[in-house]
Structure 1
Amino acid sequence: MLIKFLLIFFLLALVLRFVLPVLMRYLVVGFLQKQARKQAQHFGGAPFGAAPNASQQSRAASGDVQVDYVPPRQKPAQPKEFKGGEYVDFEEVK
């Protein structure tokens, strides 16, 4: 009786330790890929920000705006070094 229990416990521990993580990884990756394809079909784009193909570009309506180039933003001019400001005398108010 005790040996049967220990054998079942040992086999269950092996399955939980080595087989279950591989199986879960396979199931989760498959689920995520399925959801990505579903969202791509729903919104008409490629999953994960991939570039659209030529057939999708040709289907664009005549009134749609397409931006091919976005110029980089210029950083605002900042002084190179702070040389200090005007001295303000502190006066305690009671």
Structure 2
Amino acid sequence: MVKFLLILLIVSFVVRFILPIVLRLLVGRFVQKQARRYGQQFGGTPFEGAFGGPPPASPPPGGGNVRVDFVPPKPTKDKPQNFKGGEYVDFEEVK
């Protein structure tokens, strides 16, 4: 009985304190590896967009002037002027 409790205590200690540290290290290395792979595949350094400064802003072409060639006409809603209500439907209340 004492041997079982001792083993249970050791296993619970490992699960509670040691396992999170080991998993954090393994997941951290995995994320770094994937970031390097992403950087090699698409160019640039890992985490460049996430942690680096904003990308350099390029001035808009034409000095920021906007020219609109076509403005679509606004649809008009045709509502009948002599609308007095809908059709009356007789119903029975069901209890």
Residue correspondences, number: 61
Structure 1 segments, 4+ long, off by >3 Å, are none
Q: Give structure 1 stretches of 5+ with no counterpart.
A: 52-66, 73-90
TM-score by length of structure 2 reads 0.54
Once the two structures are superposed, the pairs formed by residues 9-88 of structure 1 within 5 Å of their partners are 9-48=8-47, 49=49, 50=52, 68-70=56-58
* Corresponding residue for residue 93 of structure 1: 85
Seen in structure 2, the aligned counterparts of structure 1 residues 29 and 93 have a Cα distance that, compared at 3 Å, is same
Deviation at 1:33, TM superposition (A): 0.3
RMSD, aligned CA: 2.8
TM-score by length of structure 1 reads 0.55
Deviation at 1:70, TM superposition (A): 3.9
Structure 2: distance between partners of 1:92 and 1:13: 78
Structure 2: distance between partners of 1:92 and 1:16: 75
Q: Which has the higher Rg, Structure 1 or Structure 2?
A: 2
